[in-house]
Amino acid sequence: MAIDYNLLRVTVDLGAIQNNFRLLRSLGTALIVVVKSDAYGHGLLPVARSLEACGAESFAVGTVAEAVRLRPVVRGDIFALLGPQSAHDADVTISENITSVVSRLDQLTLLQQAAQRRDGLAPVALKFDTGMARLGFNETDTGRVLETLAKCPRVTPRWLFSHLATADDPDQVDYVRDQASRFQHIHDRLFAAGLQPRCSLVNSAGMLAYPELAWDRQRPGIALYGANPFHGSALESLGTGLRPAMHVQAPVLAVHPLPKGASISYGRTYVADQDRTVAVVGAGYADNYARSLSNKGWVVIRGQRARILGRVCMQLTAVDVTHIPDVTPDDRVDLLGGSSDAAVTPEELATWWETIPYEVFCLLGMNPRKYIPALPSPTQRRPMSCPVGSLPES
């Protein structure tokens, strides 16, 4: 997947992810850390290892295949949020001790059959839809769920899950309240039927804004990677202290003048309004650096912001360095993150890109990554900069 013959490089600071985990854990109940989609582009295995090293006990991925990849690396509970999609999936959830999040009756049957074949038990989280209208049983399905469970004695419903649609939006508190009360009601019906599931409702935004909805486990994802779910809203201060972990760099390949009146890149969408100097950077949409950043985004060179000029190309992007002296083809450009005061934040890049930090991380994270290992615990920490090394992926 990672195209290492391109020039863009991603560095992930595992210490930042650990910092964010500790911060969230200090606020909350127990956490299920969400590491789906390759840990939002940060790397499933290195991220999961670092989280386990600082105390994470439960992990959520999307597919059963991701869960299988994670199983040898962590001891804790692994939830497959999409549940089994085939008999083979169902078999491996049992052999690999993966908890299936189940949102359809046929998944319960698949798991019962697999558990019978393997003479085991199939732990599940029942996923109910309380307002997202994506995956999950409806409250009106509760009777049928209970009937099916009665016919599936090897399926053990240990958990009840649902997912909030508007937890990050201070203007949609009422919708969260509606979802929360539906969740409570479903819980009560299951409880009355003799089930005693542990419950989990909230994501990052939900755990920061609604501590009263913590139930037994909270499921943070994006906050672990350091993006503030409330960026630009009245609740922005709730994300204080989160540190982005992803740093994206590419080299300068050429520096040249662009005289007043000259255009640059495909379609001539930028024409110099004065004599300018441009640097051509070795990153483009083939690296998932979006073409929608054309004439909109900014990068950082030598600690200063430089604006994108003209269209982002497949492997090249031109930026304005008129105000930055001595830029040369040796220079590295920060497309996201880094240590400079001018560093581009995930929220800024997402705004220019017309998306959200989640997508920025998932897409840029598909490039080759290296890791800054987490430092030892604070008592052992020495005042030195930490080495940048490549960790093996497995």
Ligand X SMILES: *Cc1c(COP(=O)(O)O)cnc(C)c1O
Q: By C-beta, is 36 or 276 nearer to ligand X?
A: 36
CA–CA separation, 205 vs 144, rounded Å? 32
Can residue 218 be called a binding residue for ligand X (CB under 6 A)? no
CA–CA separation, 5 vs 2, rounded Å? 9
Mark the segment that binds ligand X (CB under 6 A) among 214-222, 256-264, 323-331, 365-373: 214-222
Instruction: Give which of 140, 133, 199, 141 is closest to 166, Cα–Cα.
Output: 133
The DSSP secondary-structure symbol of 375 reads P
Q: Which residue is nearest to ligand X (CB)?
A: 221
> CA geometry: angle at 27 spanning 21 and 28, to 5°?
85
Query: Applying CB under 6 A, what is the total number of residues that bind ligand X?
Result: 12
Cβ 342 to ligand X, closest distance in Å? 27
Helices 105-117 and 87-95, packing angle to 10 deg: 60
Q: By C-beta, is 207 or 293 nearer to ligand X?
A: 207
Can residue 204 be called a binding residue for ligand X (CB under 6 A)? yes
One residue of 203, 249, 315, 317 binding ligand X per CB under 6 A: 203
Q: By C-beta, is 163 or 276 nearer to ligand X?
A: 163
Please, which of residues 292-351 interact with ligand X by CB under 6 A? none
Structure tokens of 306? 């430089």
Q: By C-beta, is 201 or 312 nearer to ligand X?
A: 201
Cβ 285 to ligand X, closest distance in Å? 25
One residue of 9, 187, 217, 219 binding ligand X per CB under 6 A: 219
CA–CA separation, 82 vs 113, rounded Å? 18
Local structure of 308: helix, strand or coil: strand
Instruction: Give which of 368, 324, 315, 330 is closest to 342, Cα–Cα.
Output: 324
Tokens 């840029």 belong to residue: 364
Binding to ligand X by CB under 6 A, coded x per residue (else -) over 250-269, reads --------------------
Can residue 115 be called a binding residue for ligand X (CB under 6 A)? no
Can residue 221 be called a binding residue for ligand X (CB under 6 A)? yes
The DSSP secondary-structure symbol of 137 reads B
Can residue 239 be called a binding residue for ligand X (CB under 6 A)? no
Q: What is the largest distance, in Å, between two alpha-carbon atoms of the chain?
A: 77
Please, which of residues 48-107 interact with ligand X by CB under 6 A? 81
User: Would strands 198-200 and 155-161 be described as parallel, antiparallel, or unpaired?
Assistant: parallel
Cβ 208 to ligand X, closest distance in Å? 9
CA–CA separation, 50 vs 71, rounded Å? 15
Q: By C-beta, is 223 or 321 nearer to ligand X?
A: 223
One residue of 84, 131, 220, 226 binding ligand X per CB under 6 A: 220
Instruction: Give which of 87, 91, 39 is closest to 60, Cα–Cα.
Output: 39
Provide the annotated active-site residues.
36, 266
Q: By C-beta, is 164 or 319 nearer to ligand X?
A: 164
Please, which of residues 9-48 interact with ligand X by CB under 6 A? 34, 36
Q: What is the DSSP string of 28-88?
A: SSEEEEE-HHHHHHT-HHHHHHHHHHTT--EEEESSHHHHHHHTTT--SEEEETT---SHH
Cβ 240 to ligand X, closest distance in Å? 17
Binding to ligand X by CB under 6 A, coded x per residue (else -) over 152-191, reads -----------x----------------------------
Mark the segment that binds ligand X (CB under 6 A) among 144-152, 215-223, 271-279, 376-384: 215-223
H or E, element range at 258 = strand 246-258
List interacting residues with ligand X (CB under 6 A): 34, 36, 81, 163, 203-205, 219-223
